[in-house]
Structure 1
Amino acid sequence: MQQHDGGPRNGVSRAVRLESFGGPEALVVQDVPEPHVGDGQIRIRVTAAGLNPMDWIMTSDDATAARFGLSLPCGFGTDYAGVVDQVGAGAKGYEVGDRVFGAALSRAVADFVVVDADGDIATGVAHHTPDGVDDRTAATLAIAGSTAAAALAVLKLGPDDTVLVGGAGGGVGVFAVQLARIAGARVIGTGSPATADHLRALGAEAVAYGDGLADRVRGLAAGPVTAALDLHGTDTVHAARELGVPDDRICTIAGAVDGVPAVSGASAGPAALDDIARLVAAGRLHVPIAATYPVADIRAAVERQADRHVRGKVVIDL
């Protein structure tokens, strides 16, 4: 096993934990035993952890947590970035000192995470962070980026497409809009009137969500809508059907509609996150970071992230 100095000492490290499921008030920063690698595993000294809606949704109550296989006491957060500081026997592709980012389900807001070197986004995974991508940005990529990539793989967008993206200003929308534009598609994004400038900055034409959405989209003219992505619920699905979009060119991530494909981050192809990280490094994809918080302020950070009107990602510094 390789190891180098740095990080917490004396076998104790910090982790955000829940002793009971609930809202932000249930989150506490605790001293916990420092984890170590087993065979085939790597340990990452976490420098930043990005927050997603799924983090607080899946720990909000016992029943929801059980659906994700979580039990008490429980960690918190999934997206992370940092530096490899232990490499277990048989773990291939990583060396101590490598900068990495990835996902560790409901345990990322901690000084250390341990993942399988050949893991996946559902069980814990690490990807090499390219030069030119800082850790705060890298810590926002895994869940939102892979979810957006999975959805766009279903839609197979090209230059002849106009795609309607519902909830375009949210965490997944930031990636979906830009990836759709990179594919050459025209993007119409829904949001509140206050988010219009934010959506335009991402590359989307802004339209207000709510009743009458299909009519407002028609009013934008310039050809038919050929695909749709609903990132919030099912309202955009119904508007897309009203606009004549076939079900196989509609996708959801947060709602279920018979006949319409649904995806999650686990649906993304194995190269999706590396491709996204390279786009960020090349300056072709930008991730707005709305706020950063020290780990001691985890409750305030989650409250900010849960605000439906937050524009960009919220990141915890460790």
Structure 2
Amino acid sequence: MLILGVDTGGTFTDFVLQSEKELQTYKLPSTPDDPSRAILQGLEYFFGQQLPENLEIIHGSTVATNAFLERKGARTLLITTHGFEDILFIGRQNRPKLYDFNVIRPREIIPRSQIVGVRERMLFDGTVLKPLGKTVGRALRSSCRNKKIDSVAVCLTHEKIIKDELFRLDIPVTISSEILPEFREYERLTTTLINAYLGPVISSYIKRLTNILGSVSLHIQQSNGGILPAADIEKRAIYTVLSGPAGGVHGAHQLAREMEVDKIITFDMGGTSTDVSLCDGKPTLTRDHRIDGYPIRIEVMDIHTVGAGGGSLAHIDAGGLLKVGPESAGARP
């Protein structure tokens, strides 16, 4: 069995090939326009034009994180209950910096024009108080076509019906009851929306990669340290937001175990960012994570990221002070 680890970062793509005889490494600049191109170059370096049948690839990536931070996700429509359309912008009353008078709101994920409220309501015991209208499906399909929507997020109480109505449009639909079947509507909505927003971006290059790999096994590193079959990536895109950094924490923890060290702080500096995590006997997990100010209620590695790496750009700010990052020279300085 040959196991190839591939880590796609904002600056470099790294490879580690483990065989029965040795461990080989390779590094080359990433290709941000299509991350699969750099991966294919690495495969050609190791194997030429013919991939071995006993090859298994485990792929970690920061593509999802970067796409969200740069707001380069899919054109997404959010469907929710009428009257709840502004939850995304209202959020919670909690203030992370209570005495900061210069708070800057996180950039919006999608504009208000891409949020649609439908008139429906269900009581606490499951009794339907107000059923969906018979023309809702037709109206939503028309809205998707008019707004040129690429992906849909649904967060209400009749989700399965909405998903079935949109099936004929042949666009991905994320429903909150499958991604996060929990109470707390704000966190449930943001988690569902971010998954829909990133799904087409991640799946597009993963599909190109799997078509070329053929029968070669491909798994994607999850944010909690586990792995996910490549075929499920579009439905579970949000599980890859800390994909690359999670692999770094696991690697550092494994090295510490071999050195018989129980308590470590991992420090993973790349070309674009630096990731730090605490391992007290094992990697620390959390379900209270935010990405660019928005909560995602899934289990992820407890990693703190700083926008400063080996390729960070220095500049003088408006006050005349020297600043470094978060902008980076990237793979093409």
Calculate the TM-score normalised by the size of structure 2: 0.25
Q: Give 1 or 2 for the bigger CA radius of gyration.
A: 2
TM-score, normalised by the number of residues in structure 1: 0.26
